Structure 1
């Protein structure tokens, strides 16, 4: 499948099994994987179709799906060892989806030899498609996106999905506010300029691989509090997404205490 065909597949799956259930989930169509961790039939059906079609098109690739991993954690080991893999987040922002928020997305990424080479985010309720290919830039509905650096005289604005950090400041920077609680919206909103950096505690490949490639291709930086760059197979906890190198360096210097307070 070429890049457009993968996006078309994601749109078709959303139209078939996700959008018809938006604000129309029936009794029994929402379950808990763990306390507070929701999954819906839309997640399950979307992942099944995406996995089937990607496996048919790329029979030698390993497909890592969020829901599959929740029932078989050994899939992470096989994914890390794979030469060629895809990640699938069938409904990113499931809680948002369940509660009727349009801030949810379908996400796919392609990894070769431990490096993300293509990424896709489809936001069905917003009608926005984000696509990136390594070395070829990031595109929003077919238009090239470049994230401008934060001006030197403007303090960067941060968002986070880490609940204990909301309302806290990193040094003299403005207080952190809540993110959109959906990586398929968070990363795009940073590229659109609604935030200058994002802090995450957890590192699941299906959550971060697509957006990390897009931010980098748009001029931003994605790395960890220890300064190592993001890798889709490293699974290192703690992620800093930044609009530019200067913002990443400044936030990283100040973030150690914040990450220590994350739980």
Structure 2
């Protein structure tokens, strides 16, 4: 666990942090419509992937490698173990010079996340989690207390970018009417999940759930005592892009159940169709 945390911090110090607020012309590219990447993302992924394979020689499913070759993500289902790597989570924040970004990896065995690591360079904060063993912040055990009061007192984030328009309107209205405060989030799962684990947020509803974004934080939250589950109640498992959408993360099971009820209202409660 410690060595992987060191690998993330080392790669960050080598190629990510030196470019924070110092990206040169030509070091930011569009990899897909509306999706950007930097040289820091690409270089960090190469370094992290190589060093992880020295620890455990299994396939590395990295965000940038999958962008170039989507078939690489099949390893999540075809291989007994894989490393997932998000070299710069919150790339838009990184480009804009905002400190809400992270470097993340997780280890997936037989389709289940068994260990995860999140490094937040701006605050030199390391989050780690191991299945069945707990979650930590800089070596201190994290325990998420249940959400206090009821929905009218809770603070949450609604990530609505990839929602179908009708469902977006429904969820936004229900959220505005039912909760104490709703934020748009911080544009970085590696910052948002720790916010739930440490109590700054009581819940988050995500829609698009790319595995490198959600495997690390989901394990962190659940090992701290929270819940990360699909809208039909099934526990989160990392899926290849496009396989699953809709994920509700909450402080505890009761707040998960009540948040889901408030957000969905009368919307059907089975597994939702993908919203693109």
Q: Spell out the pairing of 1:206-245 with structure 2 (5 A cutoff).
A: 206-233=212-239, 235-245=243-253
Deviating more after overlay: 191-200 vs 174-183: 174-183
Task: Give the CA RMSD over aligned residues.
Answer: 2.0
Partner in structure 2 of residue 205 of structure 1: 211
On the 8 A contact 2:84/2:106 being kept in 1, the answer is: yes
CA drift at 1:160: 2.3
Q: Distance in 2 between matches of 1:218 and 1:93?
A: 23
On the 8 A contact 2:76/2:111 being kept in 1, the answer is: no
Partner in structure 2 of residue 169 of structure 1: 174
Q: Distance in 2 between matches of 1:168 and 1:187?
A: 24
Is the aligned partner of 1:13 residue 2:18?
Answer: no
Give SS of 2:122's match. Answer: coil
Deviations 1:73-102 (A, max 9, x none): 111112222101110000000000000000
Give SS of 2:200's match. Answer: coil
TM-score by length of 2: 0.88
Q: Distance in 1 between matches of 2:16 and 2:192?
A: 20
Q: Spell out the pairing of 1:1-263 with structure 2 (5 A cutoff).
A: 3-59=1-57, 61-153=58-150, 155=152, 156-163=154-161, 168-170=173-175, 172-174=178-180, 176-233=182-239, 235-256=243-264, 257=267
TM-score by length of 1: 0.92
On the 8 A contact 1:167/1:177 being kept in 2, the answer is: no
Partner in structure 1 of residue 165 of structure 2: none
Give SS of 1:227's match. Answer: coil
Classify 1:168/1:100 alpha carbon distance in 2 versus 1 (closer, same or farther; 3 Å): farther
CA drift at 1:225: 1.2
CA drift at 1:199: 0.8
On the 8 A contact 2:15/2:40 being kept in 1, the answer is: yes
Q: Distance in 1 between matches of 2:40 and 2:184?
A: 26
Deviations 1:29-73 (A, max 9, x none): 0000112211000000000111111122222x1210000011111
Structure 2: state its 5+ residue gaps: 162-167
Deviating more after overlay: 125-134 vs 38-47: 125-134
Give SS of 1:118's match. Answer: strand
Q: Distance in 1 between matches of 2:158 and 2:198?
A: 16
On the 8 A contact 2:75/2:82 being kept in 1, the answer is: no
Q: Distance in 2 between matches of 1:102 and 1:199?
A: 22
On the 8 A contact 2:210/2:239 being kept in 1, the answer is: no
